[in-house]
Structure 1
Amino acid sequence: MTPPRQRRTAGAFGAPRKALARKGAVRRSQAVTTYGVGSLVAFEQESFIVSGLDDADASWPEDETPKVYEHRLARTLRVTHFRLPPGSDERSTDGMRVRRFPLMHNCPGCEKLQPIGRFNPPAGKAVCQDCARDLVPSRFVIACENGHLDDFPYWKWLHRDNRPGGVTGGCGGTLMLRSTGRTASLRSIVVSCTCGTVKEVSMEGAFGRQALRDLSIRCAGRRPWLKDAPVESCTAAPRTLQRGASSVWQPILKSALSIPPWSDGSTDPLAAIWDQLRECETEREISLVLNGKFDGNPPITAARVMELLVAEAQDDPDPESDEAQIPDAPYRVLLRQEYRKLSEGNPEGDRREQFVCEPPEGDHRAHLDRFGLGRPMLVKRLREVRALKGFTRIIQPDAAPDKGGAPLSMAGLKWLPAVEVSGEGVFLRLDKKRLDAWSGGSEVKRRVARMARLHDEALVKSAPKGATPRRSPGTPRMVLLHTLAHVLINEWSLDAGYPAAALRERLYADDTMAGFLIYTATSDSAGSLGGLVAQGEPSVLKDSLLSALRRACWCSADPLCIESGPSGTYGANLSACHSCVMLPETSCEHNNILLDRALLIGSPDNTEVGYFVDLFQS
């Protein structure tokens, strides 16, 4: 990563094209999931914020940040393509741009607390000119639920009793910060001022929800990750956060699997002209657009494009229907398309094909009928594209409105940063008749309604002011599929040779879908070894399911776990903990919520709520 400060141009191979100082490195996948635009990154004693994408068209070299195409996801997110973030290897040049943030720094020698520029440090350094000590970036920042970010207002915090009407201004003094060392609490961090008009104040209480608002400190609407961004009017209450807290930056990620007819790469050259093609009504009009774009030598026929446009529109909901009004309706279309292709399969053919899905050989019913499972599908080759759409601060991404989240750039872009990963997987479906009969049980409905209600209440509380909150996806079908996917991932992490963090779930749960995909889609060495597909063979799958469900019957935290009330984030779990069904956060679509293993094996006071309880009754 490189901060936007120019120095004398270097001509060596691999040197930044604008000779910007390097300040550490992150992996490409981290540039989307952990250290994306707007996030804070610490390198040694310094802290930076990742810059927005307004200059990325110029600063991201095309040879290092190739375009990525995934038609269905691009259409959903209203972009033409995606781009890989810059790499951090020896051959990379510019990398991702960063800016120094927070600006408030403290010198451990003279204890001064002020913007870094007042220390007169050497260019590109964070050193106190008087003490020659390394400066320490402020531990605290303030943010609001609208995504704004700013330095902690130490002067206002200290001069709380000397600000008539909440006025802002200097006092002529210099702020000082020290730690008494008596405790590890905020009470030991003390701020004072050399003006002598106020007593020193500790940082205790700064993290209260109303702590800043009670002192007439309002959000200034600053967006330091965006170059020359004007301040915005903001009525949200700012909150104090630790600079390294996870709630300072939470990505809004959207992903899609590459499935036919878009998974062989033949449509990639058309990415920039799909909007034009959608306006065409005849093959003749399509042919004119293609010939104009490709100088009379189009890579695909007009008839084929017409077929693709028809297929594209088939699953779109009626704009006047209730479903079309749901915020994530376009993303549901993606999932339904994937569910259909996973159910149908796609045999191996062209080497360019990125989606190969086939049923196992032999009759699966002899092994799996007793589990209420349909025919498994072995996904021998898959590709997933994960794109960074935006990010949130303080609130969870699932509570953000569909068009919400802080922006990645000042101006609209035709692309988004994304990573593509390849892997393998196993797709499982539950028998619809058996599932409907089970989910209609009154006790099952009661347990799941309790979880969904608490989730709904949390989403309402955390939604930005004036925004329509999202509804909880919790249904008996979804919670059952989610919990079953978790116990299988834990089982296969022991049998398939993959760490649990290298396996992921993808749920397909609504009135028309009842399945899940467990897959490896990771850019590291645990990518595609073949061990996971082998677990989908019916005879092996039967043993895995029995073992996974037996493990779910007992938890080291029992009887507290199986008899517990609401637990976990939002209180949206029942019988679930880290000793039984919870997974690494990289593996779960729903942040380890909406889990209940009692729906698999029953509870002590009511075994009938367990979908698989018949397996253990003899």
Structure 2
Amino acid sequence: MKERRQRRPRRRENTAEASRTPLGGVRRTQMITTYGVGALVAIDEKSYVVSGIDSWKVDDSTAIFEPRLQHWLGVQGFRLPPASNPPVGDGVRVRLFPEMYSCPKCHELKRFREFGSPRGKSLCGACEESLSPSRFVVACENGHLDDFPYFAWVHKRTSPVSSETGVRHELSLHSTGRTASLRSVVVRCSCGKKASLEGAFGGGAMQALGISCSGRRPWLGAEGVEVGCTSAPRTLQRGSSAAWFPLNRSALSIPPWSATLQKRVHDHYGVLEPLIAGKVDDALLDKVIEGTGLLQGSLFTRQEIVNAVRQRMELANTEPESEAYGGFEPAERLRREEYEQLMFGTAELERDQDFECVKPEGDRAALPFGIERSMQVKRLREVRALQAFTRVQAPDVMSPGTQPAALALEAQDWLPAVEVSGEGVFLTLDNDLLHSWERRPGTVQRMDRIRREHTRVLRSLARKSSSGRKDEAVDSPITPRYVLLHTLAHILINEWSLGAGYPAASLRERLYVSDDMAGMLIYTATSDSAGSLGGVVAQGEYKQLRATLESALNRAAWCSQDPPCMESEASGVNGLNLAACYACVLLPETSCETNNSFLDRGVLLGTPEDSSVGFFNRDN
């Protein structure tokens, strides 16, 4: 990471010069999950915000090939974030934020540049003590971010600013140490006014004082201000997780895009596509194909190359998903295409193909009760892209109220992404048993609790949204089969992390749920060796799956927090879980698609009051 500094303009011209002083480094994967565009990162004694992708130095050498995902997201491609120590270029730019700092000795509270700190250091120019960045910032649900308004907070909570001439207003920050609460943090002004920060974190604290959102987007520079934001700013801790939520999208590389031919054609698609679309003379097309070198030292024919280009053209001509932020992701077309490939596997394999899915060997009759199909995914490649981010409110693909923030000042034709390889097991449920279970009165009644709570949350977010959607039109897409598959995936991840030796954080779930889909993929797609040791694939063998599923169900039948856990009628974030806690089915957040929501182990084996709710209860 390199700091982007604003130097004093010469002759009142708005000029800026960037410093290339290296500050630190993070892993490339963290650039889309933890420290992406707009995120706050602490380096040494300073705090920074990661600049927009329009300031990143990337080129075609870092391009990532995944046409399905780029078509779905409406971009021309993906780029790998710059390395922490790139051989050329200057990595990722960051900007100093927050700008307000304080000195622990003289207690002065002002902008960093006003302290007169020596270049490259964070020291008070008067007492040479290390400066501390402001602990507090303000943000709104539209993604805007600004320094905490200390001056307005002090004076608007007491009385209007004095109109007397010659009155100075210099702020200082003090901590009485009497309590650990914000009551002990006091801001004083040289005019004589003072106020503690008690109550600053209230949802309407800023709005009550008439402090509106400034529309600032410091990660995009001074010109990134958006005028007219009506969202109420909220006070946040600088290091709070609510200050930055990534909105990631991912896709598996599946045939034909995972094949060697498509990957080779990709580099020459821009040249071949207009020729094939324009139906040029065969002789000219042959000459161009020969010039690409695709035929040299390969087993591909001219017609296979033409067919591959036409497949890519057909993909480009299909309509992408119409609802980028409000759809039900497990049922979207991107997942449906993967579901079909995972169901039937791969017949022909190439050495450098990214996708290999086969049926386990052995007697299929050994499949456990309730499971219809098991497929071993011996090779898979996943591309994860950072589409946008939010603040204050975590992104939810099922929520119409999510307000994404921009990654750049002007729209870019690419997004930052990473590619990871791994392995996994794909499972589907018995359709006949599933349809029967979904219609049981106990199942319907229990799942309606989750649906009601989720509908309430969605309608509340819709009312806050600027999209203009009426909250009456918003309804929860959660179905009984989704809760069943989601909970089943969680208990299997917990079980396999014990039996296969993988940490639970290295395993991930990917759900495929609709009226005609009921599947899950549990896989290890990580950037280290924990993703390709072969242990997860072995869990897909029929006899092994039967043993691990039985063990997982036995563990889920009882929780150390019972009976409160099983009898819970609303738990978890926004009350979207029933019988679920960290002692039984909850997972590390990196493993779950929905932030540990929509879980209920009661749907697995039933409850003490109603055993018919349990899908795997053979007595029903």
Establish whether TM, by shorter chain, passes 0.5. yes
Paired AA for residue 195 in structure 1? C
How far apart, CA to CA, are the structure 2 residues paired with 1:244 and 1:466?
27
The residue that corresponds to 2:350 in the other structure is 350
Superposed CA offset, 1:122-167 (max 9, x none): 1232211001011100000000000000000000000015665999
Post-superposition shift, 1:328? 5.7
1:96 equivalent to 2:92? Answer: yes
Post-superposition shift, 1:564? 1.0
The residue that corresponds to 1:11 in the other structure is none
Contact 2:325-2:399 within 8 A present in 1 as well: no
Contact 1:426-1:532 within 8 A present in 2 as well: yes
How far apart, CA to CA, are the structure 1 residues paired with 2:168 and 2:146?
22
Pair 1:586–1:271, CA change in 2 (3 A): same
Post-superposition shift, 1:460? 2.7
The residue that corresponds to 1:249 in the other structure is 244
Q: Of the candidates 222, 225, 228, which is equivalent to residue 230 of structure 1? A: 225
How far apart, CA to CA, are the structure 2 residues paired with 1:37 and 1:28?
12
1:126 equivalent to 2:130? Answer: no
Superposed CA offset, 1:335-366 (max 9, x none): 000000000101462112100000011221x2
SS state of the match for residue 613, structure 1? coil
The residue that corresponds to 2:333 in the other structure is 333
Contact 1:76-1:331 within 8 A present in 2 as well: no
SS state of the match for residue 379, structure 2? strand
Pair 1:34–1:75, CA change in 2 (3 A): same
Post-superposition shift, 1:567? 0.4
The residue that corresponds to 2:175 in the other structure is 179
Post-superposition shift, 1:388? 0.0
Q: Of the candidates 249, 258, 261, which is equivalent to residue 263 of structure 1? A: 258
Paired AA for residue 204 in structure 1? E
How far apart, CA to CA, are the structure 2 residues paired with 1:238 and 1:170?
32
The residue that corresponds to 2:373 in the other structure is 375
Contact 2:579-2:601 within 8 A present in 1 as well: yes
Pair 1:308–1:597, CA change in 2 (3 A): same
Correspondences of 1:414-493 after superposition (within 5 Å): 414-463=413-462, 464-467=464-467, 468=469, 471-493=475-497
The residue that corresponds to 1:515 in the other structure is 519
Pair 1:588–1:273, CA change in 2 (3 A): same
Post-superposition shift, 1:433? 1.3
Post-superposition shift, 1:61? 5.8
Paired AA for residue 143 in structure 2? G
The residue that corresponds to 1:12 in the other structure is none
Task: Figure out how many residues of one structure are paired with residues of the other and give that number.
Answer: 594
Contact 2:32-2:417 within 8 A present in 1 as well: yes
The residue that corresponds to 2:593 in the other structure is 589
How far apart, CA to CA, are the structure 2 residues paired with 1:5 and 1:603?
61
Paired AA for residue 206 in structure 2? L
Correspondences of 1:498-537 after superposition (within 5 Å): 498-537=502-541
Post-superposition shift, 1:55? 2.2
SS state of the match for residue 452, structure 1? helix
How far apart, CA to CA, are the structure 2 residues paired with 1:603 and 1:565?
12
How far apart, CA to CA, are the structure 2 residues paired with 1:177 and 1:49?
23
Correspondences of 1:274-313 after superposition (within 5 Å): 284=279, 297=292, 299=294, 301-310=305-314
Pair 1:296–1:87, CA change in 2 (3 A): closer
Pair 1:61–1:415, CA change in 2 (3 A): closer
Post-superposition shift, 1:330? 11
Contact 2:45-2:131 within 8 A present in 1 as well: yes
Contact 1:283-1:302 within 8 A present in 2 as well: no
Q: Of the candidates 192, 199, 214, which is equivalent to residue 188 of structure 2? A: 192
Superposed CA offset, 1:218-248 (max 9, x none): 0010000003323332000000000001010
Superposed CA offset, 1:460-493 (max 9, x none): 3235433347753421010000000000000000
The residue that corresponds to 2:78 in the other structure is 82
Pair 1:570–1:294, CA change in 2 (3 A): farther
The residue that corresponds to 2:37 in the other structure is 37
How far apart, CA to CA, are the structure 2 residues paired with 1:329 and 1:544?
28
Choose 499-508 or 119-128, whichever is displaced more.
119-128
Paired AA for residue 204 in structure 2? Q
Post-superposition shift, 1:44? 2.5
Percent pairwise identity: 50
Contact 2:491-2:585 within 8 A present in 1 as well: yes
The residue that corresponds to 1:15 in the other structure is none
Paired AA for residue 519 in structure 1? Y
How far apart, CA to CA, are the structure 2 residues paired with 1:471 and 1:165?
48
How far apart, CA to CA, are the structure 2 residues paired with 1:233 and 1:134?
37
Superposed CA offset, 1:542-569 (max 9, x none): 0000000000101000111111110000
User: TM-score scaled by structure 2?
Assistant: 0.89
Pair 1:602–1:565, CA change in 2 (3 A): same
Contact 1:6-1:20 within 8 A present in 2 as well: no
SS state of the match for residue 159, structure 1? helix
Superposed CA offset, 1:477-514 (max 9, x none): 10000000000000000111110000000000111210
How far apart, CA to CA, are the structure 2 residues paired with 1:131 and 1:37?
35
Q: Of the candidates 129, 139, 146, which is equivalent to residue 143 of structure 1? A: 139
The residue that corresponds to 2:548 in the other structure is 544
The residue that corresponds to 2:407 in the other structure is 408
The residue that corresponds to 2:383 in the other structure is 385
Post-superposition shift, 1:456? 2.2
Gaps of 5+ in 2: 8-17, 295-303
Paired AA for residue 393 in structure 1? R
The residue that corresponds to 1:606 in the other structure is 610
Q: Of the candidates 176, 196, 204, which is equivalent to residue 198 of structure 2? A: 204
Choose 551-560 or 91-100, whichever is displaced more.
91-100
Contact 2:325-2:400 within 8 A present in 1 as well: no
The residue that corresponds to 1:215 in the other structure is 209
Post-superposition shift, 1:112? 0.5
Post-superposition shift, 1:458? 1.6
Pair 1:214–1:371, CA change in 2 (3 A): same
Paired AA for residue 284 in structure 1? K
Contact 2:265-2:305 within 8 A present in 1 as well: no
Paired AA for residue 369 in structure 2? F
The residue that corresponds to 1:14 in the other structure is none
Pair 1:110–1:329, CA change in 2 (3 A): closer
Post-superposition shift, 1:375? 2.3
How far apart, CA to CA, are the structure 2 residues paired with 1:521 and 1:257?
10
Pair 1:315–1:381, CA change in 2 (3 A): farther
Post-superposition shift, 1:459? 2.6
Two-structure CA RMSD over aligned residues (Å): 3.2
Post-superposition shift, 1:266? 2.9
Contact 1:112-1:176 within 8 A present in 2 as well: yes
Contact 1:87-1:95 within 8 A present in 2 as well: yes
